[in-house]
Amino acid sequence: MSEAAMVMGRSAETSKAVQYTRAFVGLFLRDLYVLRRELFPFAIRICMNPLLFLFVFTFVMPHMSGGAAMNPTAAMAGTSFSTVLLPGLMAVAIMFSGIAAVALPLAQEFGVTREIDDRVMCPLPVAAVAIEKICFSALQSMIAAAIVFPLAYYVPSTPVVAHVTSWPFLMLVLVLASLTSGALGLTIGTSVKPQQIGLIFGVVVMPITFLGCVYYPWAQLDKIRWLQRGVLVNPIVYMSEGLRAALTPTLQHMSPILIVSMLTFFLVLLTWLGVKGFMRRVIG
């Protein structure tokens, strides 16, 4: 191959890369504009569940006669129950936001109107359109975590003991957890029929939340060994434990190396499954 042909080939590849980048950024900015217009409903959706949980279990019950004794979960965790909840509720916000940001829109886009066809007509590979959905949902998940943090810190009547031991580790966990939740949302949204997407939240999302070490550290499951081992297949376990290790290091938590490794594993696995399902639904 002549030198001129090689230069032309590299130029064509560079031009295509620039075109793909612009198209990807354009899709992202379009979704960001839509989110900005719906920011208030988004914030209400994120805040309502953790705010009610915090208000009842960490504000109302401690003020009632009997105190923590009326709350078996609080009694189990002692005075640190509010501290346990801080990273757990942030993990729930990340998970719910990531899934809702991808799975619910896909139910509409893959519906009768086939709105997804308009999106995949942009000058991008079909897989890149799916990746953009994951990235944008990750942004929403990080915003959700930022919204929930002050609620979980200031609403409880008992003091919350939290401090960041390593900002790089905290940011790494936030990014991996947010991307993983978006990848899970893509997998769910491309694996079920649009009319069944509501059922998934009751059958899949709620169980993995309650068994995701949100309201208790993973180490406290040692008295139920089969359950302690069984929940290790649940990605939200590593989100909760990762945020617990970064924000509340005085509590028992998993090894940071294990947390990062498993979050990376689930991110790769769920992204592969989600992109594969997305391409099947679009092309098929």
State which amino acid sits at residue 1: M
pLDDT of residue 276: 92
pLDDT the model gives residue 243: 94
- What's the Cα-to-Cα distance from 14 to each of 11, 20, 26, 125, 129, rounded to whole Å? 5, 10, 18, 16, 20
Q: DSSP letter string over 127-177?
A: HHHHHHHHHHHHHHHHHHHHHHHHHHHHS-SSPP----S-HHHHHHHHHHH
50: Cα separation from own chain's centroid: 15
Q: Calculate the alpha carbon distances from 245 to 119, 170, 228, 248 in Å.
A: 39, 9, 18, 6
Q: What is the DSSP letter of 216?
A: S
What are the helix and strand counts (H, E) for the chain?
Answer: 13, 0
Q: Which residue reads 């936001």 in tokens?
A: 97
For residues 263 and 177, is the Cβ–Cβ distance under 8 A?
A: yes
Distance CA 218, CA 61 (A): 24
Which whole-number Å values give the CA distances from 148 to 15, 43, 73, 173, 257, in the listed order?
Answer: 42, 9, 21, 16, 26
Residue count of the chain, please give it. Answer: 284
Give dist(CA 54, CA 92) in Å, integer.
13
Burial level of 200, CB count in 10 A (0-12/13-18/19+)? middle
Domain ranges for the chain: 38-283
Residues in the chain, pLDDT under 70:
1-13, 61-79, 111-115, 117-118, 120, 284
- CA 251 – CA 133 distance, rounded (Å): 35
Model pLDDT, residue 153: 83
User: Whole-angstrom Cα distance, residue 178 to residue 173?
Assistant: 8
Sign (positive or negative) of CA dihedral 194, 106, 269, 166? negative
Residue corresponding to tokens 């069984």: 230
Q: What is the pLDDT of residue 236?
A: 93
